[in-house]
Amino acid sequence: MKFRGKITDIACLNHFTRVVTTIAKLTKTCVLQLTPDNLFFILSGKVTNGGVGMRCQLLQANFFHEYQMEGVSSELNQICLEVGPDNLSRALKTVQCAKSVKIKLSKKHCACLSISAELPTLSSVSRVVTHDVPVEVIPRRLWQEFQEDNMADFDVSIYLPPLKTMKNVVDRMKNLSNFLVMEANLKGEMNLKIQTDLVSVSTHFKDLGNPPWGEDSSQDGGLSQSRDPESMAEVTVDIRKLQQFLVGQQVNPSKAMCNMVHQSAVHLILLHEDVSLQYFLPAVA
């Protein structure tokens, strides 16, 4: 089991740091899965974290100048590590001006992801800083929880309004209620609603558009066709969980969409050029 990567481009380093910082805002610990082509940050939707799940995929070639890895075996060429993303983010933030950054799986006092950076100095010798982020290697028998599940058949898929607008709305609503109802239909309309004994607030978005899901998606094309475009699919979610997701977003994605399974789950998907972030929010009973 070996892993070694090197980032030499400062823009890639900044981008990678931003992604890791976004992850750090979403969860305290997560699984870093390394494959020959991709890095995944995964939080599987366990009861302990309130059923919230996350899956972030990065194409390694877009970030790393050098990338070498050797998985557990040739047929299972991957490595799964449990990491604290805030440690990674902190380590990366201090080395933003580095000439190059190496990330390496190493065995020191414990298994570590060693992030070493060569920092520019006025002298002839570079300054070297090493951050050892402790990780736990996840045994193979636990791997199946990190494989991508097939998406449940959703009722409505819709593009999200600008995340900043949505964040402002949700931030206000959070002061009034703990739960928020998200509803959307196939006419490009989405509503965010709260209801308490004293007040009902709802924000309406329209003309958002519905993403076309082709044959290759898990969605059964016939079903959405047969669905009444006016009829709303609705899910009640924990408002703090939704807010956490919105707070963490540092860059506007090229595409932001949301798949809803009526009264059971919200699946938020953000697509950047080389990164995709999926976030699963279960409905509260």
Partner 1 sequence: MQCVVTGGNVKVLGKAIHCLSRIGDELYVEPQEDGLALRSVNSSRSAYACFLFAPLFFSRYSIPKELSFRCKMAIKSVQTVFRSLATLEKSVEKCHISLDEQKDRLTFTLHCKHGLLKTHNLSYQDSESLEAVFDKDSCANVLRAQPRVLVDTVAHFPTSLEEVTVTVNDERMWVRNYVEDESERSKVMLTELCLAADEFDQFAIKAHNSITFCLKEFRGLLLFAESTGLPVSMYLDEPGSPVVLSVTDSVLEGNFVLATLSDDRSPPKSNRGADAEQPQPSDDFMNDDMDSYLIAMDTSIAPGPSTSDLPAPPVAASRKLPAPNNRSRRHSEEEEEEDGEEDLERPPDKKFRSLFFGSVLPSSPLMSTQPVTTQEVLASDSEDETEAE
The footprint of partner 1 (CB under 8 A) covers: 84, 87, 90-91, 94-95, 108-110, 112, 119, 121-125, 127-134
Distance set, CA 233 to CA 159, 169, 227, 236 (Å): 14, 20, 10, 10
Q: Which is nearer to partner 1, 91 or 257 (CB)?
A: 91
Could you tell me if 3 and 106 are in contact, meaning their C-beta atoms sit under 8 angstroms apart? no
Amino acid at 11: A
Query: Please, which residue, 134 or 253, has the CB nearer to partner 1?
Result: 134
Nearest to partner 1 of 94, 196 (CB atom): 94
Q: How far is the CB of 6 from partner 1 (least distance, A)?
A: 19
Are 239 and 174 in contact by the 8 Å Cβ rule? The answer is yes
What is the spatial order of strands in the sheet that 200-205 belongs to? 200-205, 190-195, 179-184, 233-238
Q: How far is the CB of 134 from partner 1 (least distance, A)?
A: 5
Nearest residue (CB) to partner 1, 130 versus 217: 130
Cα distances (angstroms) measured from residue 143 to each of 7, 18, 24, 46, 106: 28, 27, 22, 14, 21
The distance of closest approach from Cβ of residue 122 to partner 1 in the complex, given in angstroms and rounded to an integer, is 7
Cβ 41 to partner 1 shortest distance, Å: 17
C-beta closer to partner 1: residue 65 or 107? 107
Residue 62 Cβ, how far from partner 1 at the closest point, in Å? 26
